[in-house]
Structure 1
Amino acid sequence: MEELPSSTVDDTLVRGTKDCEQRRRSIAPPDAAAAAAAGWSGLPDDLLIMAALDVPSLIRSGAVCRSWRDACNTFPLPALKQAPCLLYACDEYGPSDAALYCPSVDATFRIPFPGPPHHKRGFVFSCNGWVFAADEVGNPYLFNPITGVHATLPSVKTIMGRDEDDDHYYDDEGKHVVFDGVSRIGVIWARHEAYVRVAISSAAEVAACTVVIVHPPEHRLSFARPGDKTWTLLPDDIRLVSDVLYNEKDGLFYILHSRGSISTLDLISGPSPSVATIMGNVVRGSVADMYIALMPSGELLQVWRMRDLVGTPLKCRWAYRDIRRYVLQDCIDFATENDNNKPTNLQANDDQDDEPSDAEKDDQVSTHKLLVFMVNFETQKLVELGDIGDHAIFLGFNAAVCLPTKDLSPLEPNHAYMTDDCSVYGPMLRKDLCIWNINKRSIQNIMDAWTIMHSWLDLPAPIWIAKVLDSSMEKRY
């Protein structure tokens, strides 16, 4: 690793002095925290300097000298290489930095967030340690929040094969988007509307990443790599996609369609993309927000997230009996045959002391049920799971993941940790952050379970970073 020029270190130290004491407390190891209680003057000077740095600078600081390397090693940075961490925007860190909360050490780290200030930021998604984000006009880019490595992707104007000079795609201010030649009422921001889901191949070098996006209209698929000039649209019959997943074990992308069918996408074996259907439809129509995830053992999961408006009466919310009416014959084996739709312990986002207003009830959604299915390709069925063992599921604006919880305290096995990823009512954050107990079928607000250090900003929505790339394996693009 190359040593940093002194000017870079000095600039970083100046930038890191804001809220320095707060950051020291948030990232200091237990022994340093005890020393802090007795007075900061007793700490080594190098350790005090480390506490003022953001994470990318802190990682690079170990190359300055042996003393700094030793000081750097005293910080709980190895925890960042464990999954998962929660990336979010907050007032405390300003418009260009984000907070990275690590539950395993209950610590918050400051992360530089490249691109526009948060209030102009668009769609943000994470996959395989990379963050996919859109700038103020909707153009996407990748970056690693730990190392700062980043790269641009093709312009949003090239999605769907549009010409780069197409004057009808934006209005005069570059904000109003026209889809399929039909102008929508009101201002439509490309940075919020152009992307739905993202899958990124697992690669240590950003230039080697392949990015697949789900986008309007009709939830089509396109792919590109850093350095490409345009997005490549997949065949016309690949549409109504709910989620897409990259499987590093076989190098294939797995596509989940809105009726439960699954296809594989091969982008490396031949001169052109190859798509194969491996699972047929299981329902007649869309019944939930669907995700696809891999268990560490290799089994494929479908996860269905049921949401309703906050003000929806309990008796009007979807239950098992409603889903069964849409299920194709012999396609799903449910774990229970009886569902009396009893209330769970706590409906997410329902504040018992502060009833939502009528306006909030009209435009806020909350999760009230989660179904987890194992995909049985041999029988072409989904099998509902009431227990996923020593594992937890993480959902939101991230590639859905199922991870062992043995070394991830305080994360609990047999739980699903969810952040808000509903875009039905626009880009504003509705704080649908909750934890679902798969075995007990109960739910609680994530804010009641964890002490999050800072208050959320409305944009972008909090996302799980479920895999952090090793900086020693990366090269700048």
Structure 2
Amino acid sequence: MSSAPNGAAAAPWADLLPELCGLVVDRLDDPISVLRFPAACAGWAAACKENPRRLRSGAPTLLVSGLDPEGVETEHDVDAGAFGLHDVSAAGGGRSFLAEAAGLKGRTWIGGKGDWLVTTDYGCNVELFNPITGDRVPLPSFETTRGSELGVPGYLHVSAEDRWHRILKVTLCQTPAHPGGYLAVALFSGGLLASTAAGDKCWTALKNHAASSRLDLSYMDAIVLEGKLFSVNEFGRVYSWDMMNGGTTEPAAVVQGPEIELNRHYGRGFYLATSSHGQLLLICIHGDTDSLKDNRTCSRLVFDDRWSFYEHGMSLHELDAAGGGAWRRVTDLGGDRALFLGANCPFYITVPPGSEKLKANCVYLADTPSGYDAGVFDLNKGEEEDGYVERLAYSLMADPLQMPMWFRPTTHHRLLDE
């Protein structure tokens, strides 16, 4: 290509007509590239701001398995690093995108926070991966776990004292972008719980001498709040560890869980989150297990089969830590907010007035117990009503290997600076 004539100034890219910018954006099929595209400079960001085909920064997006590159309808492996993203807040029924990432080739996601994913290969080599920036942060090997001698026999298991523990999820409580660095908690079957943080060279197994039996160690979720690590078991009992000054090696303290009347419901599961008031929030999802045939127990690379039942409703309970440890029923998320739950670290979205798609005072659950990609629970309904509003199905594959999970793509200022 010949250079511009001497004295001829190149036209600023930002001076292109918005219609031309839209045509350029249309040629970018990869949603991650489209998200990075306006980060090239402030002018492009302004020109592309209104393009309806863009993956929007900060949007609540459901992450699912991508299409098989050979067109097979059943997902056989994760070698391609393919994934799908579905913006559930977009008008007109949502917006869907397909992409591939080198950092996901041969790996499956098992947790995340914001636009960071926790991924693992079959050998339980866990790392943090940001699909937007491409950054990868390896976590310590589970063979280094302090307080429990672990082996890694492979296929998403670790072993301890002749028992195998299946990895269930890794809760990412802080990302590498946090001033204190990352903080992660790994949950395994059989009551194994471990944490690691930026600067650590190992994982630390959390001991729980307060548990009365091995069944009490059946942890379903974990969260870190104000220097304490909380975990809830499958019976709704909550335990806490003080994480200040390396206190995770100290015995757990019991936090008496709320009394939850389940009536005819037999299946139930629990999540933990932070309430609108900054307190510990326990979420109970209840239903029944009659005649449920769940293919996920066979097809998923990572699956907790305790989350396999027909969900009927949900209840939220906030701990009043300053008021003697009492729990109160929560029916309001703060007026105009929605809560997003799943294997991801929970987050809230402020619902814009007049939103066509998002509903305020609702809980959006990824990977529902009955096998839908997501479901919406309306807290405005009474305690005796079925709180379900909608079930969402976005998966592009039959019997996908990977779990649906919430993801929040972000345009990074670092990309602008570069």
Mapping of 1:78-117 within 5 angstroms? 80-91=56-67, 95-105=80-90, 106-115=94-103, 117=105
CA pair 405-306 structure 1, distance change in 2 beyond 3 A: same
1:282 deviates by 4.2
Whether the 8 Å contact between 1:394 and 1:400 is mirrored in structure 2 is yes
Q: Secondary structure at the match of 1:217?
A: helix
1:114 deviates by 4.2
Q: For residue 372 of structure 1, what is the aligned residue in structure 2?
A: 316
1:370 deviates by 1.4
Q: For residue 303 of structure 1, what is the aligned residue in structure 2?
A: 283
Kindly indicate which of the two structures has a greater share of residues assigned to strand. Answer: 2
Q: For residue 198 of structure 1, what is the aligned residue in structure 2?
A: 171
1:225 aligns with 2:197: yes
Q: Secondary structure at the match of 1:104?
A: coil
Whether the 8 Å contact between 1:288 and 1:307 is mirrored in structure 2 is yes
1:417 aligns with 2:364: yes
1:145 aligns with 2:131: yes
1:289 deviates by 0.9
Whether the 8 Å contact between 2:145 and 2:202 is mirrored in structure 1 is yes
Whole-Å separation in 1 of the counterparts to 2:290 and 2:267: 18
Q: For residue 334 of structure 1, what is the aligned residue in structure 2?
A: none
Whole-Å separation in 1 of the counterparts to 2:359 and 2:178: 32
Whole-Å separation in 2 of the counterparts to 1:98 and 1:131: 13
Whole-Å separation in 1 of the counterparts to 2:158 and 2:176: 34
What is the CA RMSD across the aligned residues, in angstroms? 4.3
Whether the 8 Å contact between 2:377 and 2:389 is mirrored in structure 1 is yes
Whole-Å separation in 2 of the counterparts to 1:445 and 1:160: 44
1:310 deviates by 5.4
Q: For residue 175 of structure 1, what is the aligned residue in structure 2?
A: 155
TM-score of the two chains, using structure 1 as the length reference: 0.61
Structure 2: 5+ residue runs without aligned partners?
A: 1-16, 71-79, 211-216, 296-306
Q: Quick one: percent identity of the two aligned structures?
A: 21
1:132 aligns with 2:118: yes
Equivalent of 1:464 in 393, 406, 417: 406
Counterpart AA for 1:97:
A
CA pair 129-45 structure 1, distance change in 2 beyond 3 A: closer
Structure 1: 5+ residue runs without aligned partners?
A: 1-30, 33-42, 185-189, 313-348, 350-362, 423-428
Whether the 8 Å contact between 1:152 and 1:226 is mirrored in structure 2 is no
TM-score of the two chains, using structure 2 as the length reference: 0.69
Equivalent of 1:48 in 24, 31, 36: 24
Whether the 8 Å contact between 2:185 and 2:194 is mirrored in structure 1 is yes
Equivalent of 1:243 in 221, 226, 246: 221
Whether the 8 Å contact between 2:337 and 2:361 is mirrored in structure 1 is yes
1:77 deviates by 8.9
1:299 deviates by 3.8
Q: For residue 330 of structure 1, what is the aligned residue in structure 2?
A: none
CA pair 206-115 structure 1, distance change in 2 beyond 3 A: farther
1:464 deviates by 0.9
**Quick check: 255-264 or 135-144, which moved more?**
255-264
Report the count of equivalent residues: 359
**Quick check: 93-102 or 281-290, which moved more?**
281-290
Kindly indicate which of the two structures has a greater share of residues assigned to helix. Answer: 1
Q: Secondary structure at the match of 1:58?
A: helix
1:270 aligns with 2:238: no
Counterpart AA for 1:199:
L
Whole-Å separation in 2 of the counterparts to 1:49 and 1:128: 24
**C-alpha deviations, 1:183-223, integer Å up to 9, x for none?**
67xxxxx8xx22345132255269911112222331x3211
Whole-Å separation in 1 of the counterparts to 2:357 and 2:83: 22
CA pair 175-382 structure 1, distance change in 2 beyond 3 A: same
Q: Secondary structure at the match of 1:303?
A: strand
Whether the 8 Å contact between 1:58 and 1:72 is mirrored in structure 2 is no
**C-alpha deviations, 1:57-95, integer Å up to 9, x for none?**
334445667876665545469974335211111317783
Counterpart AA for 2:329:
E
Q: For residue 343 of structure 2, what is the aligned residue in structure 1?
A: 397
Counterpart AA for 2:205:
L
